[in-house]
Chains A and B, each alone.
Chain A
Amino acid sequence: MARYPESPNEIFAREEEPDEGWRRPPPSNSLPLRNVVGDWAKANLFNSVPNTILTLLCAWLLWETVIPMTQWGVLEAVWRADDPAACRAAEGGACWAIIANKYRFILFGLFPYDEHWRPLVAMLLFVVAIAVSCVPRFWRPWLAGLWIGVFVVCGVLMWGGVFRLSFVENARWGGLPLTLFLSVVGIVCSFPLAIVLALGRRSDLPAVRAVCVGFIEFVRGVPLISVLFMASVMFPLFLPEGVTIDKLLRAQVGIILFTAAYLAEAVRGGLQSVPRGQFEAADALGLSYWKKTGLIILPQALKTSIPAIVNQFISMFKDTSLVIIIGLFDLLSTAKAALSDPPWRPFYLEAYLFAALIYWAFCFFMSRYSQYIERRLETGHRRS
């Protein structure tokens, strides 16, 4: 054993390992699966007494909920039946047949049955346009053109009256297209207003600032439902005699005003994150206020506030469900209305879960997107 080590590494290797250690094969992936699972469980589930108790408690909870839910939702469920009696006969199981029978009503509301392809195409166009807008590479001026085109085509599809499409008044719009329409139009139209409000809130002019702060704080202090009540009850009073606007437009205006206040705060956050040097540099170049704002400040501010804007879009998408209270027929209303058919009435859980799944899919996708864009936009000029 009297031998000088050849390298410093060897010293440590010798000291730490038992004599025969280097002969042993390295601990590899060839361990039996049971050991891997066992070690993992020991480290992550049973590493202490309180944790073991917690794990057992959770496992019991899962056992108690998941098993009956699987039995109810999958094993004993009735998937297809034209008659609710078949569902009632199979006691203790979900009646997904209500979805099979009512999905077109839940998705499209009172739109004429034979014309359902029109809201379907409009809805797909919206979804495609949203998906395209989500890709940063496509953030070019033509995107605005695409959106205008989508709005025109969707308007034609929904209203009809031209190209031999029969006319459908917007009181008959409903379901998912209406929800999408309210939220997309809401975010698009409230955006310019929000930028004006956010700039006004940071303006040097006291009167402008006071007006903007007053509007933003007022709207943020009251519930959406009171704004919708105002839109449905008071807007008709605001207009001169003989001028009327329909319920959908009134609700839309209410949603736009409401969203603008929240969106303005998101944009303000972006404005505040623009380093002071950018303002000073723009001033030093002798740019006017509007050139400074439009060319230097806003592009940076809006980029930073994109995650907040997407989050605002998510919460507005969920909030459009409140229009049920002023009598519009959005996705939640149609799901609720589908239950007013007495034979299907007992299967409320299925209908609500169906609507919830649609809302959830949209919101979950968008919140994931918001997280992705937040990571992507970390460009490193943040000062901490």
Chain B
Amino acid sequence: MASTDGLRQTPHGGRPAPRRRSGAWWNDRRVRAVLYQLLVLGGVLLLGAYLVGNTLDNLERRNIATGFDFLGREAGFDVSETLISYSPADTYFRALLVGLLNTLLVSVLGVILATILGTVAGVARLSRNWLVARLATVYVETLRNIPVLLQLFFWYTLITEALPSPRRALNPLPGVFLSNRGMRVPVPVADQAYVYAAIGLALGIAGAWLFARWAKAYQDRTGQILPRGWIGAGLVLGLPLAGYLVGGAPTALDVPALQGFNFTGGVAVTPEFAALLVGLVVYTGSYIAEIVRGGILAVSHGQTEAGLALGLHRGTVLRLVVLPQALRVIIPPLTSQYLNLTKNSSLAVAIGFPDLVSAANTSINQTGQAVEGIAIIMAVYLTVSLSISAVMNWYNRRIALQGAR
């Protein structure tokens, strides 16, 4: 409340500050402000210097070298799941990078799935169908009141103990195997055709976006509505298909097969990954459900009725009237849920999924470079958190009321 204080103490419009009853300099508000700030800064700096000094002393006494040199040394530990090639002969830096990629993979998948689950559950809680609303309520009220770590242990133990061994793996779909070593699914053998399909997909998305822009401008100009949805879907689905066909439409599949005690071939989803993903999605989804429900309830029913009275379709009302207003309420808390999910993915270390924290933890245990290891963890999470915040703030500004800020 700077301006209210300013009435008496701070200069206004270039006038000198009015003199106080006592003319002593230590009663001057501005001098005091500077003094307080110097005191706080000095205190913080002194505390920091004291802690850093002690730390350096202690490290020296324990003969631990400081610095990030260890990142270039050979890591010597194996990582069970990697997105990029990695072997124990690689450096600590690469081990941490592998961990970071795993963290990002879980976070991105988790955010997408939790958003879907949360939206469905939030809408279901508002459903006029009594049974659906009750089921959604039970889901939300149960899962958000149980610690996420307990849920992770629960899923992990369930997967590793309740599923059969690879030799007696469940085979729900042809080629898909479920066992206590995780899930194996067949994947197409790499082929040039899939590169073409990927290019087609990129072109299709870009084309659909451009067409939607053009169609909107066309509608503004002429009032005619073009079938944006159909043409967009045609572009997004049709171009990859064309690319696939041009590439010769290969049908070879890499089907998992039992060899010895485990499967080879196909793509594996490990129990650790599955438990982490399911736990995070189910837990965060229950929070997102409440956010979505609150957002929809925040849009008054009169808005829907007004939209219908204007002669809009129900779908159009939802898309053009209700959702834009609900999103404004939903986005800020949704952002913090995304951040929570990303930060909670660090619990992977408890069930043995090789994420960043787990890789850093192993590095700390092997090298004793605790300060550096923890600094890396914190710096990476800070960067990720700030990036998510920045993206979501940008999106929030885009959908905010024009002229409201």
Write the residues of chain A forming the contact surface with B, with a CB cutoff of 8 angstroms: 44-45, 47, 51, 54-55, 58-59, 61-62, 204-208, 211, 218, 220-226, 229-230, 233-234, 236-241, 276, 279-280, 283, 314, 318-319, 321-322, 324-325, 332, 336, 346, 348-349, 352, 355-356, 359-360, 363-364, 367
B41 x A318 contact (CB < 8 A):
no
A332 x B153 contact (CB < 8 A):
yes
Could you tell me the distance in whole angstroms from the C-beta of A71 to the nearest C-beta in chain B? 16
Within 8 Å CB of A336, what residues of B? 153
B150 x A355 contact (CB < 8 A):
yes
**Cα–Cα, bound, A276→B7 (Å):** 15
B33 x A233 contact (CB < 8 A):
no
Contact flag A204-B149 (CB < 8 Å), given A44-B129, A55-B129, A233-B374: no
A54 x B385 contact (CB < 8 A):
no
Contact flag A55-B131 (CB < 8 Å), given A225-B349, A360-B146: yes
B154: contacting residue among A207, A241, A352, CB under 8 A? A352
Could you tell me the distance in whole angstroms from the C-beta of A235 to the nearest C-beta in chain B? 10
Contact with A along B175-206 (1 / 0, CB 8 A): 00000000000000000000000000000000
With most chain A CB atoms within 10 A of its CB, the pick from B7, B145, B357 is B145
Could you tell me the distance in whole angstroms from the C-beta of A228 to the nearest C-beta in chain B? 10
A58: contacting residue among B2, B131, B161, CB under 8 A? B131
Chain A residue at minimum C-beta to C-beta distance from B129? A51
B145 x A360 contact (CB < 8 A):
yes
A352 x B4 contact (CB < 8 A):
no
Chain B residue at minimum C-beta to C-beta distance from A355? B150
Contact flag A321-B374 (CB < 8 Å), given A44-B130, A55-B131: no
4 closest cross-chain pairs (CB), A and B: A363-B145, A207-B37, A223-B343, A44-B130
B44 contacts chain A at the CB level, 8 A cutoff: yes
B366 contacts chain A at the CB level, 8 A cutoff: no
Within 8 Å CB of A367, what residues of B? 145
Q: For the A-B complex with A205-B36, A352-B153 known, give 4 more contacts whose Cβ atoms are closer than 8 Å.
A: A223-B343, A226-B378, A332-B147, A349-B154
Within 8 Å CB of A332, what residues of B? 147, 149-150, 153
**Cα–Cα, bound, A221→B148 (Å):** 19
B40 contacts chain A at the CB level, 8 A cutoff: yes
Within 8 Å CB of B149, what residues of A? 321-322, 324, 332
Segment 226-275 of B: residues with Cβ below 8 Å from A: none
Could you tell me the distance in whole angstroms from the C-beta of A33 to the nearest C-beta in chain B? 18
Within 8 Å CB of A220, what residues of B? 385
Within 8 Å CB of B347, what residues of A? 225, 322, 325
Segment 19-34 of B: residues with Cβ below 8 Å from A: 33
B150 x A359 contact (CB < 8 A):
yes
B381 x A283 contact (CB < 8 A):
no
Interface size on B, residues (CB 8 A): 60
A283 x B5 contact (CB < 8 A):
yes
Chain A residue at minimum C-beta to C-beta distance from B51? A238
A363 x B146 contact (CB < 8 A):
yes
Could you tell me the distance in whole angstroms from the C-beta of A93 to the nearest C-beta in chain B? 15
Stretch from B53-61, B89-97, B318-326, B395-403 at the A interface: B53-61
B157 x A359 contact (CB < 8 A):
no
Within 8 Å CB of B371, what residues of A? 234, 237
B135 contacts chain A at the CB level, 8 A cutoff: yes
Segment 132-151 of B: residues with Cβ below 8 Å from A: 132, 135, 141-142, 144-150
Segment 47-78 of B: residues with Cβ below 8 Å from A: 51, 54-55, 57-59, 61
B317 contacts chain A at the CB level, 8 A cutoff: no
B128 contacts chain A at the CB level, 8 A cutoff: yes
Could you tell me the distance in whole angstroms from the C-beta of B271 to the nearest C-beta in chain A? 14
With most chain B CB atoms within 10 A of its CB, the pick from A222, A321, A324, A364 is A222
Within 8 Å CB of A59, what residues of B? 131
A356: contacting residue among B2, B7, B59, B146, CB under 8 A? B146
B173 contacts chain A at the CB level, 8 A cutoff: no
The count of A-to-B residue pairs whose CB atoms sit within 8 angstroms is 161
Within 8 Å CB of B38, what residues of A? 207
**Cα–Cα, bound, A88→B1 (Å):** 69
- Can you name 21 A-B pairs with beta carbons within 8 Å? A45-B131, A54-B131, A58-B131, A206-B37, A207-B37, A207-B40, A222-B381, A223-B357, A229-B374, A233-B364, A240-B54, A280-B1, A283-B4, A283-B5, A321-B150, A325-B350, A348-B161, A349-B158, A359-B147, A360-B142, A363-B145
A318: contacting residue among B37, B55, B148, CB under 8 A? B148
B33 x A204 contact (CB < 8 A):
yes
B374 x A230 contact (CB < 8 A):
yes
B346 x A225 contact (CB < 8 A):
yes
Chain B residue at minimum C-beta to C-beta distance from A232? B370
Contact with A along B369-388 (1 / 0, CB 8 A): 01100100110011001100
B361 contacts chain A at the CB level, 8 A cutoff: yes
Within 8 Å CB of B82, what residues of A? none
Chain A residue at minimum C-beta to C-beta distance from B336? A220
B44 x A205 contact (CB < 8 A):
no
B128 x A44 contact (CB < 8 A):
yes
Contact flag A45-B145 (CB < 8 Å), given A224-B343, A225-B357, A238-B54: no
**Cα–Cα, bound, A77→B41 (Å):** 64
Within 8 Å CB of B146, what residues of A? 318, 356, 359-360, 363
Contact flag A221-B131 (CB < 8 Å), given A204-B33, A226-B357, A283-B5: no
B361 x A45 contact (CB < 8 A):
no
B165 contacts chain A at the CB level, 8 A cutoff: no
Could you tell me the distance in whole angstroms from the C-beta of B222 to the nearest C-beta in chain A? 36
B381 x A223 contact (CB < 8 A):
yes
B59 x A237 contact (CB < 8 A):
yes
Within 8 Å CB of A44, what residues of B? 128-130
A207: contacting residue among B8, B41, B346, B385, CB under 8 A? B41
Within 8 Å CB of B339, what residues of A? 221
A222: contacting residue among B1, B144, B382, CB under 8 A? B382
Could you tell me the distance in whole angstroms from the C-beta of B278 to the nearest C-beta in chain A? 15
Within 8 Å CB of A222, what residues of B? 343, 377-378, 381-382, 385
Within 8 Å CB of A241, what residues of B? 57-58, 61
B362 contacts chain A at the CB level, 8 A cutoff: no
A205 x B61 contact (CB < 8 A):
no
**Cα–Cα, bound, A332→B149 (Å):** 9
Could you tell me the distance in whole angstroms from the C-beta of B63 to the nearest C-beta in chain A? 13
**Cα–Cα, bound, A149→B150 (Å):** 33
Contact flag A226-B374 (CB < 8 Å), given A321-B150, A364-B145: yes
Within 8 Å CB of B346, what residues of A? 223, 225-226
